Amino acid sequence: MPCTVIAGGFWGDEGKGKIISYLALKEPLDVCVRTGSVNAAHTIWYQGKRYALHMVPGGFVHEKCRLLIAAGSNVEIKSFLEEVELTGVKSRIGVDSQASIIEEKHAEQDKASAYLKGTIGTTGRGVGPAVEERARRSAKLARDIPELKPYIADVATETNKAIDAGKNVLLEGTQGILLSLFHGTYPYVTSRDTSAAAICSEVGVGPTKVDNVLLVLKSFMTRVGTGPLPGEISKEEAQKRGWFETAAGTGRDRRAAPFNFELAKKAVMINGATQIALTKLDCIYPKCQGARTFNELPVEAKQLINDIEKQTGTPVALVGTGPDALDLIDRRQ
Ligand code: IMP
Ligand code: MG
């Protein structure tokens, strides 16, 4: 901290939710700002309960954390209100007055498009069509919506003031760099840039205000929807290795492949990563399950961490070893 950007290094689903919940509880976080939209789900285990959040920032697990939704985000009103209820954060969540709104018609447009649904494999939540409408300057904004009135905030001002006051601020990215509209595997990408710089831009925080860029990489790679996945293995093989996952948001199968150093290096470069969080190490080395110190790890796991550090030139500061927020090795002093 004080201002950390958390970004995904592959195709999303790297385990950002878990890392955010750890930081929220541990630091503890004062402000957590979510970017992106409802196509992304962040999975968080908290007090024995699993949350798949599409709108509420992962920092909700720390009950004093102020939660904000960025101007660059797209808000789906029903999901937002449901999640606010579910997490009980009504008194401490704010939505930027200029965040744009996803309407029912946008989700219908996603689903009605054979190209988006079939070729691209959209999540069907309407984010792409909502972004299109925003670019045409005809979108509804949060400030136009009566139900959102109690939540309206100036997120850029609040966030910058918190940073200037030395508070712990986390800017929460969604998806991963390889789904970026600019830097990903176009056209098999989402409708926004997902890089650390874009996360800052969505919030309204300048690059000079950021101290850390924490890049989340999973110990193997997964991807939902279509598009290239180097080294892809079959579903049967993924099941055998314990790498088979289904999407938290849509329930679709996630395709799987081994960790790719070239892609990791590119992700570090484009995001300007200062630290890496490596997640799900226990899925590739079951002996790591629940480890809380580096010394507990088997030699192959230590070797992988050392290789990642060497090849990317970036420290692996956090290592996830299980689903709980606290199943983690914290290697920052
Ligand atoms: P859309 O952004 O919903 O239109 O989906 C476009 C592509 O991005 C599809 O391949 C989706 O599966 C993928 N995608 C969008 N959001 C996420 C996410 O949060 N995690 C993983 N993949 C995503
Ligand atoms: Mg996800």
For ligand 1, atom 18, the nearest C-alpha belongs to 40
194 within ligand 1 shell (Cβ under 6 A): no
The two tokens of residue 182 are: 């600019």
Q: What tens digit of pLDDT does each residue of 254-294 get?
A: 999 999 999 999 999 999 999 999 999 999 999 999 999 99
Taking a C-beta distance cutoff of 8 angstroms, is the pair 34, 275 a contact?
no
Query: Which 3 state secondary structure label does DSSP give 4?
Result: strand
Give the residue among 8, 22, 41, 82 at the shortest CA–CA distance from 245: 41
Q: What is the dihedral of CA 282, 286, 291, 297, to 10 degrees?
A: -100
pLDDT of the residue at 193 = 98
The two tokens of residue 224 are: 């939902």
pLDDT band at residue 35 under the 50/70/90 scheme? very high
Of ligand 1's atoms, which has the minimum distance to the CA of residue 122?
5
Ligand 2 centroid – CA 12 distance (Å): 6
The two tokens of residue 263 are: 């892609």
Per DSSP, the residues of 54-83 read SSS-GGGGSTT-EEEE-TT-EE-HHHHHHH
For ligand 1, atom 8, the nearest C-alpha belongs to 190
Query: Which 3 state secondary structure label does DSSP give 289?
Result: coil
> Active-site residues: which are they?
13, 42
Over residues 206-228, mean pLDDT:
97
Q: How far is CA 16 from the centre of its chain?
A: 5
pLDDT band at residue 196 under the 50/70/90 scheme? very high
21 within ligand 1 shell (Cβ under 6 A): no
Ligand 1 centroid – CA 216 distance (Å): 17
Average pLDDT over the chain, rounded to an integer: 96
pLDDT > 70 in the chain, percent: 100
pLDDT > 90 in the chain, percent: 94
pLDDT band at residue 1 under the 50/70/90 scheme? low
Query: Which 3 state secondary structure label does DSSP give 15?
Result: coil
